Chain A
Amino acid sequence: DADVTQTPRNRITKTGKRIMLECSQTKGHDRMYWYRQDPGLGLRLIYYSFDVKDINKGEISDGYSVSRQAQAKFSLSLESAIPNQTALYFCATSDWGNDREGTQYFGPGTRLLVL
């Protein structure tokens, strides 16, 4: 079984709709991250969480919100989706307690299309 899972893997939605992308991990890591990937731009950080009570904005948080429901779960919401949020979204984890180098481990991604 995959250590970091994302649901759904693909999603098509309409402008103005609220959607949620979910991430779960069985690695026991304390830190979790949400990124979006756009061609030619690499990965850009949306939000990150160092533990359940610590959530921080990343480079491009506008239009997004997150919830860290448990150590193993970190959800990303688009409150009112717009077409330029069409992208590939990745969840990642890292284990600060045992790896102070910050290596990140990625889920398989969610491909989102906003019409």
Chain B
Amino acid sequence: AQSVTQLGSHVSVSEGALVLLRCNYSSSVPPYLFWYVQYPNQGLQLLLKYTTGATLVKGINGFEAEFKKSETSFHLTKPSAHMSDAAEYFCAVSDRRGQNFVFGPGTRLSVLP
């Protein structure tokens, strides 16, 4: 069975600082990996995804994530935080049939002025 852990339920950064949100997964085969963002009172939006090919994936709003198979990780980063990045971020995995979608518990990002 697949599972996802996100270290830190709440992360605070200062505006302009590096954002690092951690995601580790457990899967018997290399999965597809996703990051979603949820702004207050809204549904989830896809930030980026890794399926095959280049392990560094770029997404919307300046975010990127790197798939590291040896570490079973898919951490999300952004070089410089903006106030508008304050939201909840979810890491998710699915198997290579596009099924068995499993979400992590989420990390709430606060951006301090």
Residues of chain A at the chain B interface (Cβ within 8 Å) = 4, 33, 35, 40-45, 90, 92, 94, 96, 99-109
Contacts and interface: CB of A to CB of B under 8 A. Distances in A.
Interface in B76-92: 90
A57 B104 CA distance: 20
Interface of B: 4, 9, 32, 34, 36, 41-46, 49, 51, 90, 94, 97-99, 101, 103-106
B101 A104 contact: yes
Contacts of A99: 98
Contacts of A92: 44
Contact of B9 (A33, A40, A102, A103): A40
A42 B106 contact: yes
7 contacts: A41-B105, A92-B44, A101-B94, A104-B44, A104-B46, A108-B42, A109-B41
